Structure 1
Amino acid sequence: MVPLIKHLGLVEYQQTWQAMKQFTAARNADTRDEIWLLHHFPVYTQGLAGKPEHLLHASDIPVVKIDRGGQITYHGPGQIIAYLMLDLRHWKLNVRGLVRLMEQAVIDLLVPFGVIAQGREEAPGVYVDNAKIAALGLKIRNGCCYHGLAFNVDMDLAPFAYINPCGFAGLRVIQAKDLGICAPRSELELQLAQNLIKLLQQHKSEKSAQ
């Protein structure tokens, strides 16, 4: 069964994080996977290994310490966030495979616009000319994942200047708008979800055929 897609709009971070944890804790073998599409009010999130020195300047934007991997990143209106509540066993995926799959979904999203992007083995995410356009973070519990990816579309990038994005000093951050992509956020959001589902199905079919 394909994941259920939910469009949640502009939502507060803490409540959404709690909802992801509750969904994952309550699920069983029959629970349908879900993909939540949304964006957040301004917030910095700091992963389990997050180092406080990567927040360079204090601001009025809250910092939330959370349970995903990775360092600090910024979320704000105008991003596309796709939270993936998946049973990895159902899709015959490991964490590394899911990271590559999420990256590929964003790379494929950019191709029709003539934008060439790539992932990085040593620094998960999606990059265009060494500037990061999408960040990834996951938490795995009992073989199921939550959190997901954040793709910059048309947002205020200034808050990224107050951090070392994902723990990398001087890392440039870019967004779709800067690349001349003017498609509505809602259109890109739906295409990203479709890309994710297509890649999940392809991966499962390939693994099942082996």
Structure 2
Amino acid sequence: MARPINEEKRQERRSCILKEAVVLFAENGYSNTTTALIAQRVGVTAGTIFQYFPSKEALFNAAVLEPLADIQEKSLACLKQEGTPGVLIKNMVEEQFNHIYCYTNELRLVQYVLGQRIRFPELTQKVLESTKVMTDTIECVYAKGQLMGEFNKNFSPAMISRAYISFLNGIGLTLGESIIHHPEWGNLKEHALYLFAPTQPKKMRGNLNE
């Protein structure tokens, strides 16, 4: 059943507030970003912000965690499809690299939090827990691929999964929105796949550059 139109408008406005909050928090940090500034960018009154988020802290937490959950959901979906571990890993790499440039500010915001763990202890813990879900899932799929002979058995699944996430985050942060126009874009995607040490790299590469 479709939601009432007023509820849809409410969700749309909430999304707009959150989107602007992500950008401003990533650019200016927590202390230098006020709810009044966010409201101004959205085109609403400052009081309107608190109809959707009970406090600035709650808005900041949502700006960090909700996009992270969205990235994770899409990535995990790739790893739960039908196919061999090698195919699932390839699909995940393609999904993440094709959309990582959409989350430049979100990644900057996550790094901002992780760089101030004493200041944001609870939020940091939630970010790390979310990341662990992703790395643990990759690790499990990779280990199955090793047993099937698709990946080199001399590597630690835990090391591989964490190395890949670090590589992905680094590319997203350093290249940003210009990433898809980078002359080495296709090669970067291939190198991401090579991190998994496939035993048949050309076969696994598939259509990553298409």
Query: How does the TM-score come out when normalised to structure 2?
Result: 0.32
Choose 1 or 2 for highest CA Rg. Answer: 2
Q: Which structure shows the higher helix fraction?
A: 2
**TM-score (normalizing by structure 1):** 0.32
Q: Which has the higher contact order (CA 8 A, sep 6+)?
A: 1
More strand by share: 1
